[in-house]
Amino acid sequence: MLDSFSIKVIRWPLAQGARALDSIGITANQTTLFGFIIGCFALPLLALEQYTAALLLIVLNRICDGLDGALARRQGITDAGGFLDISLDFLFYSMVPFAFVLANPEANAIAGAFLIFSFIGTGSSFLAFAVMAGKRGIDNPVYKHKSLYYMSGLTEGTETIGCFILMCLLPNYFAELAYLFGAMCWFTTATRIYSGFHTLK
């Protein structure tokens, strides 16, 4: 829901960062992989309840996710790069609630499982429509410079990162936040399936 607005805010700083990285030969795919590796180190930190340090790595991961797209727009958008980016993004998104489950299985296990279950809904509906849109040549008027069709919804990247930040700042409320955001994800899934089906039909 907020991605179309947040992109306007971060576009200029990401473009400047991408220009600097491009000047020293850093590629978009290298940035994607580096960001994912950085993000993976948040897992043990969260499991050990080092929430502030984990939050820093989560933010760095998301910065890299923005930089790789900006670099791709400078160096040339590729299907391989888009595939790598979205695949690692969804792995990262599922990793964060799993890490909170490891931190406190008794309090967080069911809520964490529900949130990951919800991510399956948003992710599968997003990717399935992107495949069909690509086959039919359907363009997205909002996200014109993406390697695949970005289907909007109540919960997008901006909301997901906001949720992760709140979880790191308020770890004792992980379960409540997970249930709330999971419910929002299911609203997104339902609207995507409905609108996607009727668009393709």
The token duo for 173 is 């409320």
Residue 146 confidence (pLDDT) above 70:
no
Q: What is the pLDDT of residue 74?
A: 92
**Quick one: which of 55, 127, 149, 117 has its CA closest to 109?**
117
Q: State pTM to two decimals.
A: 0.88
pLDDT at 199: 86
Q: 133 pLDDT band (50/70/90 cuts)?
A: confident
Residue 3: pLDDT band with limits 50, 70, 90? low
Q: Are 39 and 61 in contact (CB under 8 A)?
A: yes
Structural domain containing residue 151: 3-200
DSSP states of 60-105: HHHHHHHHHHHHHHHH---HHHHHHHHHHHHHHHHHHHHHHHHH-H
Task: Please give the structure tokens belonging to residue 163.
Answer: 């949720």
Q: Which helix (H) or strand (E) holds 169?
A: helix 157-169
The residue among 133 and 44 whose pLDDT is bigger is 44
Report pLDDT for 147. Answer: 58
Whether the Cβ atoms of residue 74 and residue 23 lie closer than 8 Å to each other: no
CA nearest to 92, candidates 184, 171, 160: 160
Query: What is the tens place of the pLDDT at every residue in 189-199?
Result: 999 999 889 88
Q: Domains in the chain: how many in total?
A: 1
3-state secondary structure of 161: helix
The single residue listed with the structure tokens 């690692």 is 88
pLDDT digits (tens, 9 = 90+) for 157-185: 889 999 999 999 999 999 999 999 999 99
Q: Which residues contact 201 (CB under 8 A, 6 or more apart)?
A: none
- Say whether pLDDT at 76 is over 70: yes
CATH number at residue 45: 1.20.120.1760
Which are the contacts of 14, defined by CB distance < 8 A and separation ≥ 6?
A: 66, 67, 69, 70
Q: What is the pLDDT of residues 11-47, one digit of tens each?
A: 888 999 999 999 999 999 999 999 999 999 999 999 9
In angstroms, the CA 69 to CA 31 distance is: 9
SS3 131: helix
Residue type, 163: C
